[in-house]
Amino acid sequence: MQLRHILLSPFLLVPLPAAALCVGNGTANSLYFTVEGAETGTRVGAALEAGEILCLPESRKGVVAAFESSSSIEGCSRLAAGSALLLAYGRFDRCTWASHPGRGETAGE
């Protein structure tokens, strides 16, 4: 059985997998997040509480997104390499993100 995704909590205390694309919930609210790998096209999603992280181990680059719920159509998305942390949520792509490159990468790659 191959691991499809990893859910970590709390994100500030746990080292992130080196070869993974991750998104973290840095807000005080529970939100629904997705991670889609550029290399594989694999997409996973999960509701994350404050401080939790969702990772896709087989990809380093792709798109991360946040939504109010799993049934929401509008949310915020961004290209990411390594990991991205949602700092503030606002519908229609009005979110504040912090990005952290993966090992050996820069945020612009």
pTM of the complete model: 0.78
**43 in any annotated domain:** yes
Looking at residues 11-34, what average pLDDT do you find? 80
- pLDDT per residue as tens digits for the range 64-80: 999 999 999 899 999 99
d(CA 18, CA 83): 10
End-to-end CA distance of the chain: 31
Confidence of residue 7 (pLDDT cuts 50, 70, 90): low
- Alpha carbon distance 77, 80 (integer Å): 9
Q: How far apart are CA 3 and CA 66, in angstroms?
A: 22
Residue 105 lies in a domain: no
Within a domain: residue 109? Answer: no
Q: For position 58, what pLDDT does the model report? A: 82
Beta bridge partners of 54: 7, 23
**Residue 16 lies inside a defined structural domain of this protein:** yes
Residues spanned by the domain of 79: 6-100
Q: CATH no. for residue 89?
A: 2.60.40
State residue 2's pLDDT score.
Answer: 38
Give the count of domains, the chain: 1
